[in-house]
A and B are shown apart, each in its own frame.
Chain A
Amino acid sequence: NAGVTQTPKFRILKIGQSMTLQCAQDMNHNYMYWYRQDPGMGLKLIYYSVGAGITDKGEVPNGYNVSRSTTEDFPLRLELAAPSQTSVYFCASRRSGTTTNEKLFFGSGTQLSVL
């Protein structure tokens, strides 16, 4: 099983550039999430989706956009990259969100630097 696959693993952007972080899962999970991990700050939720065609904002959505056209894919779009978006980005998924005891499956992360 591939699980949750993120690409690319590393990227350097110039200020003002745009890019899309890709995330795909092969577990038929309905719920998918994007987090950013800043040093000493833990994980902050950017956006999440409860199924194809349905997305919602998390704690820190500004500067990002998402779409969910299929169950498998949940890309994260950065428009007009800024140094404050330098971080490690994790995509995660789980089967449902109707119970509290389901674990998240994480991808291996994308390390993004904006210079």
Chain B
Amino acid sequence: GDSVTQMEGPVTLSEEAFLTINCTYTATGYPSLFWYVQYPGEGLQLLLKATKADDKGSNKGFEATYRKETTSFHLEKGSVQVSDSAVYFCALSELTGGGNKLTFGTGTQLKVEL
């Protein structure tokens, strides 16, 4: 079945450092890929998405490229801020016989310090 694997956290960085959170996936078809972010005490919200191979999703300085050859969708940001501290979830969405199925990774906690 479908699965999403993320690097374990927490990831602790200093402000203005470069961020990479790795995400790889397993799917039988042609899924769409997402990064959701969860700020403390809140629900998840969409950060960015990509719907086909080689697409790059971007938002708020974050980027991720849909790499079909390596089945990856790594999240990157060139210069993190304290306000980026949150939990980041990689997810895929695929149409199956039972409908549209969304599979989440386990989440990676990011802590950014001054």
Contacts and interface: CB of A to CB of B under 8 A. Distances in A.
Nearest to B93: A100
Nearest to B34: A103
Contacts of B49: 101, 103
A81 interface: no
B30 to A, nearest CB: 8
Interface in A20-43: 31, 33, 40-43
Interface residues of A, number: 24
Interface residues of B, number: 24
Given A42-B107, A43-B89, A50-B99, A100 B44 contact: no
Nearest to B6: A42
Nearest to B98: A56
A101 B89 contact: no
Interface stretch (A60-68, A69-77, A104-112): A104-112
Q: A40, A43, A92, A97 — which one has the most chain B CB atoms within 10 A of its CB?
A: A43
B43 A43 contact: no
A41 B44 contact: no
A103 B99 contact: no
A109 B89 contact: no
A42 B106 contact: yes
B107 A97 contact: no
Interface string B95-114: 10011101011110000000
A109 B40 CA distance: 11
B51 interface: yes
A108 B99 contact: no
Contact of B43 (A31, A41, A90, A103): A90
Q: A40, A97, A103, A107 — which one has the most chain B CB atoms within 10 A of its CB?
A: A103
A42 B89 contact: yes
Interface of A: 4, 31, 33, 40-43, 45, 50, 56, 90, 92, 97-104, 106-109
Interface of B: 31-32, 34, 36, 41-46, 49, 51, 89, 93-95, 98-100, 102, 104-107
8 contacts: A40-B106, A42-B107, A45-B102, A98-B95, A99-B100, A100-B51, A100-B95, A104-B36
